[in-house]
Amino acid sequence: MNDARDIIDQTVLVKLISCEGIEFTGIEGDGPFFCKVTAVDEAGIWVENKKFTTVELRDSRGKSVPEKKRKPQKHTVHILLLWRNIQTIIMFEEKDLEKLEVDKDAIEQTGRIGFIK
């Protein structure tokens, strides 16, 4: 690895210093958690979350949608993790993380998320 841009399009393991203020993105803790990097810039790294969920609260006429009729919708979004909030990034040499034996159940049980490819 010669440059931070080498992690673009790679799935990496990230540990944050703090996730304060970004909990709404689906990141519930400081990690570590797996994520796919889609871009790198001077502000930080952009990571993909294919499970970002929204709920329509108002219809097209502006009327409130009753709670029983609200349907969650999943979206693919890109989240900016600022350099100042990142403690560590681990990049694996293996391009195919399927080869790694990561206990996904253990990650989910601890409340960490892994929005992986």
Does residue 99 surpass a pLDDT of 70? no
pLDDT on residue 23: 82
- pLDDT tens-digit readout, 25-71: 888 788 888 889 999 999 999 999 888 888 888 888 888 989 898 88
Burial call 42-51: b when 16+ CB within 10 Å, e when fewer: eebbbbbbee
Mean pLDDT estimate for the chain: 80
What is the dotted CATH code of the domain comprising 4-50+77-109? 2.30.30
Q: In which band, very low, low, confident or very high, does the pLDDT at 111 lie, cut at 50, 70 and 90?
A: very low
Q: Where are the domains of the chain?
A: 4-50+77-109
Return all residues near 91 (Cβ < 8 A) that are at least 6 apart.
1, 6, 7, 10, 12
Q: Burial-class residue 33 by CB neighbours within 10 Å (0-12, 13-18, 19+).
A: buried
Q: What is the pTM of this model?
A: 0.71
Does residue 112 surpass a pLDDT of 60? no
CA distance 74 to 18: 25
